[in-house]
Structure 1
Amino acid sequence: MSTTTSHTPESEGPSRPARLIQNESTTEIPVHLLFRDDPDPVSVPLRPAVVARRQGMGEQPRLRRPAPARPSPVIEVDPALGERPARVLPGAVGVFAGACGLAGGVATSWWAGVLPPLAVHALGLPRYAGAGLGPAQWAVYATAGALALFGFGGLARGRTGRAWVLGLFGRYRGTVRRTGLMWVNPLVLRRRVDVRLRHWRSEAMPAADASGVALRVVALVVWRVRDTARATLGVEDHETYLRACVEAALARVPVETPGSGRCSGDGSGERLTRLVAADAAPVGLEVFAVQPLRVEYAPEVAAAMHRRRIAALDAQHRASVLTSVVDSVEDTVTRLTMRGLVELDDYERKALVKDLTVAFCAGRGEAGR
């Protein structure tokens, strides 16, 4: 019995099927392709993943791009609200209309025969028995009275530095900046506005320095009304609004502490002016300067900061005295040795320096008292 055994070389093993990775939604990929060494791989640009919102599920996307920085909110007033000149007539027109109304009333009274004889004689009118008061006379009376009321009731006097904001039935009708006697429709509502250059000295307002220490600041604000329509109709009270703008600016801008040696109106004043001017411009106010006049510590920290200030001044004084004593001792020892008056070794030099330092410090202490 012969048994035939076939020897197969190790290198020639039985052929096995290539291992495959299978996926539900992909084709079969050989395993060796996943770990292939590519000497020059080709870079494939990748796009940022975008996850779409599922309809009807109310879910938000998981990956979101950073939203751009939003600018600071800008105060906006009605763009249609702006100062424009109002239509007015010279004052002579109103005087003439009122005089005509009075003359019509007097003539109607003479026509009706109700004018007193003394007035007839004073006016030089002829004697007339009169037709009596009838519908025609009453109609002329009403017309003459309305003419006189409109003529004299619409007279107004414009002053330098003052303006009139006119409104009719809740609607802005214009601004009058004219001076002298003029005639304005008596049915319109008039609001007087001061348009002169004004300055306002505030009360002590809360503020803080660069370190966050509480302060009280009295500021001087130089301003004027530039747009009367926005200042009167765009805000309830423009003076109260300006005060709130100054208070808000003081809360954002650090103010120099008292006794810091720097002028508090140089840096902080410019920043305060820019902030207040930007906040007040939309309501028709023009701010020229906001300067801190008086800066002091708040009552709750005033005592502590006063003690700290005294301690700093005392330390500064002691440092200056010590520097002066050291300079005096050095100058004395140098002169003694340079002129050959004494010959000192290291031990004697140290002893001399010590004695001179004590003597000079004692002398300065007695002189300071």
Structure 2
Amino acid sequence: MESEKIINPPSGFTAFALFLVSLVIAAICFGYHQALPASIILVIDVIFVLPGLVIVNPNESKVLTLFGKYIGTVKKDGFFWVNPCTVKKKVSLRAFNLNGQQLKVNDSIGNPIEIAAVIVWQVKDTANAVFAVENYIQYVNIQSEAAVRHLANSFPYDNLEDETAHITLRGGAEQVSLLLEKELNERLARAGIEVLEARISHLAYAPEIAHSMLQVQQASAIIAARRLIVEGAVGMVDMALQKLSEKNIVELDEERKAAMVSNLLVVLCGDKAVNPVVNTGTLYH
């Protein structure tokens, strides 16, 4: 595998100036009816000078090969002259944004989910990008899809069914993104590609189970809310009994305490407004 070699070729302005001077000389030769020297000068210009002129734009590079041998990479922007026999391949050094398509895969516990990722990448080693793989852009697309699929297979969507899961796709966004970025860098290092950022852009249950899983989530939310309400209600009842006892407002035997606790819990834990009932007798009649 070739390693990148940076070269700095001579300025193209000097070669272009020599080209203009040679054109003037050729014109003078034609003026004096010296066709052969003029023709030789024009052939040299066309074959050796003009093909060697190359322009490198900012954040671009030119990978040069001569008769199948890697010569080097020009990364400095400007106007240069290189060996006219070299093959010049442009490789962009700009950051690329890959908006991956939505993939339907199974998470670690077998639930079908839809997942997609946004990946920002750029070429760091132009020699590997050109010579190590057939098409580095296609290589990035295929390896990115494989990495996203592997990530989805490695973790559950959430911990509703796997309560022991420390990382979930829905709850551990930062950790999942870091793991995806790390795996992509390992996969794309062969092609001289560096991943700058990787984020999950879409995550959802597959349509065939989305409704059922939504019901599970709603049930879990209701249970959690009820648990919180009951804990608060028990605390309020305990506080009420303590206050009544401390201030000697009323003496309650065990049966009256039980009735009071029951009434308070009904009022505090009910999901609808409670209509009070006034007892005009006693608790025992």
Instruction: Give the TM-score of the pair, scaled to structure 1.
Output: 0.63
Residue 249 of structure 1: CA displacement? 2.0
CA distance in structure 1 between the aligned counterparts of 2:26 and 2:91, rounded to whole angstroms: 37
Q: CA deviation at 1:209?
A: 4.2
Q: Does 1:276 align with 2:184?
A: yes
| Structure 2 counterpart of 1:356, from 236, 257, 264 | 264
Contact 1:264–1:292 (CA<8 Å) still a contact in 2?
no
Structure 1's unaligned 5+ residue stretches are 1-77, 113-135
Query: Does residue 142 of structure 1 match 2:39?
Result: yes
Higher helix share: 2
Rounded Cα–Cα distance in structure 1 between residues aligned with 2:118 and 2:155: 14
The code of the aligned residue for 2:44 comes to L
1:158-177 matches, cutoff 5 A? 158-177=56-75
What corresponds to 1:188 in structure 2?
A: 86
What's the counterpart of residue 48 of structure 1? none
Q: Quick one: distance in 2 between partners of 1:272 and 1:316?
A: 32
Does the 8 Å contact 1:249/1:276 carry over to 2?
Answer: yes
Q: Which amino acid aligns with 2:24?
A: A
**Partner Cα distance (2:3, 2:267) in 1:** 80
Letter of the 1:303 counterpart? H
TM-score under structure 2 length normalisation: 0.79
Asked whether 1:101 is paired with 2:9, we answer no
Q: 1:91 aligns with which of 2, 8, 12?
A: 12
Distance in 1 separating the partners of 2:206 and 2:113: 5
Unmatched 5+ stretches in structure 2: 160-167, 275-285
CA offset digits 1:102-129 (Å, max 9, x no partner): 12331232122xxxxxxxxxxxxxxxxx
* Amino acid in the other structure paired with 2:219: A
* SS of alignment partner, residue 89 of structure 1: coil
Give the alignment of 1:210-359 within 5 angstroms. Answer: 210-253=108-151, 254-255=154-155, 257=157, 264-359=172-267
Distance 1:170 1:162 in 2: 22
Task: Give the structure 1 partner of residue 273 of structure 2.
Answer: 366
Aligned partners of 2:116 and 2:148 also within 8 Å: no
Shift of 1:353: 1.8
Name the CA distance, whole Å, in 2 between partners of 1:159 and 1:147.
Answer: 27
CA-CA distance at 1:310 after TM superposition: 1.4
Counterpart-to-counterpart distance in 2, 1:222 and 1:273:
10
RMSD of the alignment, in Å?
A: 2.8
Partner letter of residue 257 of structure 1? Y
Code of the residue aligned with 1:226 in structure 2: it is: K
Using the TM superposition, give the Cα deviation of residue 360 of structure 1 relative to its aligned residue in structure 2, in angstroms: 3.1
Change (3 A) 1:341 1:261: farther
Supply the distance in 2 between the matched residues of 1:359 and 1:216 (Cα, whole angstroms).
44
Aligned identity (percent) is: 24
Q: How does 1:198-217 map to 2 (within 5 A)?
A: 198-206=96-104, 208-217=106-115
Contact 2:117 2:148 in 1 (8 A): no
Between structure 1 and structure 2, the one with the greater Rg is: 1
For CA contacts below 8 A with separation 6 or more, give which structure has more relative contact order: 2
Aligned equivalents of 1:186, 1:306: Cα separation in 2:
66
